[in-house]
Amino acid sequence: MFISAETSPHSLTGFTLVMPAVAVGNVGQLAVDLIVSTLNMTRVGYIHTDCLIPMAGNNPYATGSKDTEELHTAAEVYMAADMKLAVLQIRTPIIQRKSKTFRQLIVSWIKSSGFSRTVVLSSSHAYQRDDRQLQGTTLRYLMTPPLLKGCEDVLKELGWREMERVSAFPGLTDGSAEPRLYIPGGGITKGLYTASCAEDLPLAVLLLFCSEGDNIPDAFTLVNHLNDWLHLLDKPNNEPNKWKIPTSWTLLFGSGIPPALF
């Protein structure tokens, strides 16, 4: 359930919602961090649920000593009212066996909030691609029919590639078997997309094939891909440092090797 942090809750009707799927490499979550930090978005509430591993910590987007000690939780909503943009950041994994419940919660919230469109940033295991997916870009998209109707020309202009459907058992089934949507390592991505199709919700998925490791470059790739469509920033590729890295990334890989070891 969404709980507002404001005394007079701001309506999100007509806003674009951007959210991550907790997936391989945490690429979507890192990309969302860049958006919130760069646009200096305001926290307007949080998602209260028992489907996520509980977490509390300091402000991940602190800019000074005044806001460092703010308490932040596992799933929070941010807003840039002038851009009609809302962002849901999810910071912890979904508890095992509660994926369906969490997906239903998110779909219900999207419907009740009246978002004009939802964009899910996700990722998938690079090592489980089929032969077609090994060629060309590592970026893919999915769109539900209600959103696709108004975006066909834009997609052609951008030259994006749709996520391929693959055989359930490559090499073991005949050509008559119907291919399926397969997003290994994508968390609730497929379920959220399928549920949105069933509910006629305008939703898009942008995903990147990647492997676990230092996924910061993947996050920049994904957020720039999103920016080509939504134009959150003007021509970021001409200024590679235009995306603002949040302070929470300082110790993303720990505090370094202790000198006493040598």
- What does the H/E/C string look like for 194-249? HHHHHCCCCEEEEEEEECCCCCHHHHHHHHHHHHHHHCCCCCHHHCCCCCCCCHHH
pLDDT at 133 over 90: no
> What's the rounded Cα separation, in Å, for the pair 130 and 55?
37
Residue 18 near residue 32, CB atoms below 8 Å:
yes
Residue 52 near residue 63, CB atoms below 8 Å:
no
Q: pLDDT tens, 86-126?
A: 999 999 999 989 999 999 999 999 999 999 999 999 999 99
> What's the rounded Cα separation, in Å, for the pair 47 and 215?
26
pLDDT at 171: 63
Q: pLDDT tens, 172-198?
A: 655 667 888 999 999 999 999 999 999
Taking residues 236-257, report their average pLDDT.
Answer: 75
**Which token pair is 154?**
């834009």
User: Exposed, middle or buried, 197 (CB in 10 Å: 0-12/13-18/19+)?
Assistant: middle
Q: pLDDT tens, 74-92?
A: 999 999 999 999 999 999 9
% of the chain exceeding 70 in pLDDT: 93
pLDDT at 45: 93
260 pLDDT band, cuts 50/70/90, is confident
> What's the rounded Cα separation, in Å, for the pair 79 and 102?
22
241 pLDDT band, cuts 50/70/90, is low
Q: pLDDT tens, 27-51?
A: 999 999 999 999 999 999 999 999 9
67 pLDDT band, cuts 50/70/90, is confident
Residue 155, classed as helix, strand or coil, is: helix
> What's the rounded Cα separation, in Å, for the pair 236 and 258?
36
230 pLDDT band, cuts 50/70/90, is very high
Taking residues 215-228, report their average pLDDT.
Answer: 95
> What's the rounded Cα separation, in Å, for the pair 23 and 120?
11
**Which token pair is 174?**
């005949």
Q: What is the CA radius of gyration of the chain?
A: 19
% of the chain exceeding 90 in pLDDT: 70
Residue 42 near residue 85, CB atoms below 8 Å:
no
> What's the rounded Cα separation, in Å, for the pair 144 and 126?
24
